[in-house]
Structure 1
Amino acid sequence: MSGELIGTVVDEVAFDVERGKIWEFSRATFTTDPVHTDADAARTAGFDDLLATPTHVVVAGHRRDQRAFVEKLGLALERVVVGSVRWQYLRPLQAGDSLRGVRRVVGDERRDGKRGGSMRIVTLETEYVDSAGTPVVRQQDVLIERGKSA
């Protein structure tokens, strides 16, 4: 299966960037910059509304069918770990933004482990666009599926 899934759309998700969620992320990540919690401070800094924190798009995970995407990729969930997550912001997200994300497979390979066995490494990329269809965030996730134990 390695490599043949490249380009496959895994799922699509849509959500609004909400003030309440921005506040929750700010609190959870101990964010101190008032542009995330005070609309007046955000406006003074030149924005229309509260700025979302850098990891805000993880809310998409609450709207996705995680089991379905794991099955679509042919992964054994009990052997999968997240290797890394990266975000590239093309512009700041603000309260009131409506986003749609399409997640695709951009890498799928098998590697031999240093201690024997093999692993599968699947790289996913989600491009989030705003209501005008303009890309605003790209997220890359690397999933590692450990080989079966003997």
Structure 2
Amino acid sequence: MSDPLPAGVVDRVEYDVERGKIREFTRATFTTDPVHTDPAAARDAGFSDVPATLTHTVVAGHQRDQRAFVDSLGLALARVVVGSVTWTYLRPLTAGDHVVGTRRVVDDVQREGKRGGTMRVVTLETEYVDADGEPVVRLEEVLIERGEQR
């Protein structure tokens, strides 16, 4: 059994940043810069290894139990949409990095919808730290739970 999470923490995830996964993201996002696929080009550009594409942290979704996460917030998955996602990089992620992401609720409010009814807006922040415990990426997600249809 895992240790309980501290108050306000929704979940934790950890994974290795792998060259193969970086290559997959490079293809999926039509990224053409060879620094993401060629270690020599990456070194020539000043990186220790191939850097991940900017949206690479979405691989965490494959490591998480998304249903349990939504349920833990009391959200109705069928009514949830993503309002926005913002990444703030403190340094590039590169192949060989090991990161741990801790996701917290930073805001949870009810708002009146433009077409009547209420909606719930939940803002989450995930801070990813490297193997030395240094922050490398902060991710902010805004989830919107639409009100029930009348």
TM-score by length of 1: 0.95
1:4 is matched with: none
Letter of the aligned partner of 1:139 in structure 2? L
In the alignment of these two chains, the number of paired residues is 144
Structure-2 separation of matches of 1:72 and 1:8 = 11
Partner of 1:62: 62
1:39 matched residue in structure 2: 39
Across the aligned residues of Structure 1 and Structure 2, the Cα RMSD in angstroms comes to 0.7
Output one character per residue of 1:94-120: Cα deviation in whole Å (capped at 9) or x when no partner. Answer: 000000000000010000011101100
Gaps spanning 5+ residues in structure 1: where? Answer: 1-6
Residue 71 of structure 1 and its aligned partner are, at CA, apart by 0.8
| 1: CA distance, partners of 2:115 / 2:27 | 41
Partners of 1:149 and 1:47 lie apart in 2 by 51
CA deviations over 1:39-74 (Å, ceiling 9, x no partner): 000001111110100000000000001011111100
Name the counterpart of 2:120. 120
Tell me what 1:136 maps to.
136
Matches within 5 A, 1:7-22: 8-22=8-22
> Aligned partners of 2:18 and 2:65: how far apart in 1?
21
TM-score, length basis structure 2: 0.95
> What is the alpha-carbon distance in structure 2 between the residues aligned to residue 68 and residue 9 of structure 1?
13
